[in-house]
Structure 1
């Protein structure tokens, strides 16, 4: 069947009263235009509303992509960062709305970065920048961003990503453990919650597929170190009269 017809059927299904996954007209138009089959090997399966496994990562189902973009509230002219580029499909949807040169994407997995670049070029979005980075650090060289989409779960929004938001910007992420809620966070920390989802956690260096080791305690080590740094109340505080307190 013609991929264009499959795309129409896919979006019609997302807009149907039974799913109500898609209500944003700009996102609907973008998903009708992006050739999803260029990102997955099976043309017909590409437009089914289900997730796929590619290069040890999960490719989001179209309904999940729609939910994320509904929360993102992306507008024409926004500068966008996709954290967790995966195979590149969500970056392509963003590029349809804001223009490919306004979309940047990062992923911690080198094979996925290569795949995303190849897929985006084949689909006609070669202007999207895709770089291999630890997603929690964002892409400060191109900040600030009007919209940041984090396609991995985190208990709290990474500080570096919040710092890279423009005034009036928005960070969307699956927040929590299992399951999570899609959460939109403003630069001041205020947030709105949307639907329930299930995502894999945000990875640190050494945890990505193909790495020598996958040590999930690294995340806890980094978090504990940050908390200790934020809660220093001891000898480094010069204003405390330690000699008096020890008498």
Structure 2
């Protein structure tokens, strides 16, 4: 691919993000700096720049770029923030967040995904990401509280341990739903007297599963 073709592809990618409502300059800049093609392997590599979810290892998916952008937008990450991501997957969302936050902790139940994501983070010199194999539904109590929490798998309700690990004034964004057919993207803001819930849009994510994977 020539330099001109690569530039054109990037321009189309960013245009699609803007057309889907991802208009914040910081979020667009972060997504411009992270090459989604590095996070998609095998049969689907040539579709990495399309706005669609794609299969990755361990029966998981890499979310479509516009959903990554809209979730990042809703999270409203600030430069001093400490962020927890539940569901590392390909590592793409964590890589985007790393350009916006001070520190990103990302947890996945599949060792293989964590290993592969860590290798990519090293290659891309993203030194402010810590990737951990674990049951993300319990969060990371030893690193709490977090300014921002993002969950990239759907639970029936926002998990209690994650709500408890959100700092006052903090924001959590996650898909909530009882089946893969009916899910809503929810923004939770922790206030001095409780939690405020805002429904953002319908989405479809893999389910949040407790315990560790076999790989």
TM-score (norm 1): 0.77
Report the 3-state secondary structure (helix = DSSP H, G, I; strand = E; otherwise coil) of the residue aligned with 2:173.
Answer: strand
Alignment partner for residue 206 of structure 2, among 175, 179, 200?
Answer: 200
* Corresponding residue of 2:197: 191
* Corresponding residue of 2:132: 131
TM superposition outliers: structure 1 runs of 4+ over 4 Å: 2-5
Q: How far apart are residue 34 of structure 1 and its match?
A: 1.0
Between the two proteins, the alignment pairs up a number of residues equal to 204
* Corresponding residue of 1:53: 55
Aligned CA-pair RMSD: 1.7
* Corresponding residue of 1:37: 37
Greater Cα offset, 189-198 or 115-124: 115-124
Is 2:35 aligned against 1:14? no
Which whole-Å CA distance do the structure 2 matches of 1:134 and 1:158 have between them? 12
> Where does the alignment leave 5 or more consecutive residues of structure 2 unmatched?
none
> Where does the alignment leave 5 or more consecutive residues of structure 1 unmatched?
212-247
> Which residues in structure 2 correspond to 1:1-247 (within 5 Å)?
1=1, 2=3, 3-16=6-19, 19-20=20-21, 22-41=22-41, 44-55=46-57, 56-99=59-102, 102-177=103-178, 178-187=181-190, 188-205=194-211, 208=213, 210=214
Please identify the structure whose Cα radius of gyration is greater: 1
Q: How far apart are residue 69 of structure 1 and its match?
A: 1.1
TM-score (norm 2): 0.88
Which whole-Å CA distance do the structure 1 matches of 2:7 and 2:87 have between them? 27
Does the 8 Å contact 1:87/1:112 carry over to 2?
yes
